[in-house]
């Protein structure tokens, strides 16, 4: 009888532990949802024309400042004459204008007609770990204030973004299994401490959602959109991809790959500097270049008009070519 009682006690303890663990998980999700709900808006986007205003989509946005700035996905509000209304859980519905949209990062900043918003706290996606709990808050399919929870499935993903003929890769995209649906775009991806670590941007498949990270680079983009309404980037005019270095070259530079120039745009800084297709770039401005995203990260506003030395392998010969980037025109 004693053995049976101990077994029953062990089973009860296990059940209690499981209930406590579930309660702890639920408490985190509930706390995050309650904390962030006042900061997440349901967007109804309109397109203005000479004939009036017409529906142009829907999405979500996150309050950035008390005086009316909101952050969302660029694809939610991109296009001429975009305006709309932002609805909050307290029943308020505010008109907004697009302050600036950057399609190459898929981020946009809006300005609501009235202030007194409840700003979300921004975190840093660089601190995330695979397996970490995250909560997605948004308005999927028009259902305001919807909450889903999941984990960080992967980090360091890349997501292509296009503006006109320019294609750029958004770096360090967060992959999560928290359910995302149409209308979640522009909503918040939040860590267990209630800090916004990403802006939900895409549904890549069942159980596969993607979010643009909140980090030092995206904070600069958001600041530029708030201040100037646009993001300035440098441009040298090449298309390229990674290619293994010949053994002798790899030994010389201490790396195994470089960026092969596939195409050089006519009249571009790269063409004026003498770059040619099949050249291998291993450094630019003293920074290592192995892939296209290495080059992309160097094309910041500060590089516009600044001379940059490219270390190039052409066949068996090494060259140092000076490029002077210009501003990228979208």
Catalytic residue among 39, 78, 153, 185: 185
- What is the Cα–Cα distance from 326 to 264, expressed in whole angstroms? 15
- Report yes or no: 84 and 77 within 8 Å, Cβ to Cβ: yes
CB-based contacts of 286, cutoff 8 Å, min separation 6: 309
C-alpha distances (whole Å) from 37 to each of 28, 29, 40, 110, 135 are: 14, 12, 5, 18, 12
Q: Is 185 a catalytic residue?
A: yes
- What is the Cα–Cα distance from 127 to 330, expressed in whole angstroms? 32
Report residue 112 as tokens: 């609501």
Q: Please report the DSSP string for 82-97 in residue order.
A: EEEEEE-TTS-EEEEE
- Report yes or no: 124 and 191 within 8 Å, Cβ to Cβ: no
Half-sphere exposure of 1 (CA within 13 A, CB side): 0
- Report yes or no: 198 and 125 within 8 Å, Cβ to Cβ: yes
Report residue 27 as tokens: 């408490």
Catalytic residue among 39, 73, 75, 78: 75
- What is the Cα–Cα distance from 94 to 140, expressed in whole angstroms? 20
Catalytic residue among 106, 171, 191, 279: 106
The helix (H) or strand (E) run that includes residue 305 is none
Report residue 276 as tokens: 């040619």
Q: Is 106 a catalytic residue?
A: yes
Q: What is the CA radius of gyration of the chain?
A: 24
Show which residues are catalytic. Answer: 75, 106, 185
């Amino acid at each position: 009888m004693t053995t049976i009682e101990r077994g029953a006690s062990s089973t009860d303890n296990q059940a209690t532990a499981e209930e406590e663990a579930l309660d702890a998980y639920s408490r985190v999700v509930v706390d995050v949802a309650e904390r962030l709900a006042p900061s997440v808006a349901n967007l109804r986007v309109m397109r203005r024309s000479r004939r009036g205003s017409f529906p142009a989509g829907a999405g979500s946005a996150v309050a950035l400042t008390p005086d009316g700035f909101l952050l969302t996905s660029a694809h939610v509000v991109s296009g001429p004459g975009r305006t709309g209304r932002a609805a909050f859980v307290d029943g308020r519905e505010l008109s907004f204008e697009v302050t600036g949209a950057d399609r190459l990062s898929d981020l946009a900043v809006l300005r609501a007609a009235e202030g007194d918003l409840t700003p979300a706290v921004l975190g840093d996606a660089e601190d995330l770990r695979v397996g970490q709990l995250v909560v997605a808050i948004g308005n999927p399919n028009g259902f305001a204030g919807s909450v889903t929870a999941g984990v960080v499935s992967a980090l360091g993903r890349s997501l292509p973004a296009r503006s006109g003929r320019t294609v750029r890769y958004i770096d360090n995209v967060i992959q999560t299994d928290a359910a995302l649906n149409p209308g979640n775009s522009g909503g918040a991806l939040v860590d267990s401490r209630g800090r916004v670590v990403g802006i939900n941007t895409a549904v890549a498949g069942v159980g596969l959602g993607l979010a643009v990270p909140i980090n030092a680079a995206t904070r600069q983009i958001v600041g530029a959109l708030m201040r100037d309404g646009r993001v300035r980037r440098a441009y040298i005019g090449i298309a390229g991809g990674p290619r293994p270095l010949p053994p002798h070259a790899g030994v010389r530079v201490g790396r195994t790959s470089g960026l092969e120039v596939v195409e050089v745009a006519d009249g571009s800084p790269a063409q004026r500097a003498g770059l040619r297709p099949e050249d291998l770039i291993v450094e630019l401005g003293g920074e290592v270049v192995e892939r296209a995203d290495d080059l992309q990260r160097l094309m910041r506003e500060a590089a516009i008009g600044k001379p940059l030395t490219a270390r190039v392998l052409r066949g068996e010969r090494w060259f140092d070519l000076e490029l002077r980037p210009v501003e990228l025109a979208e």
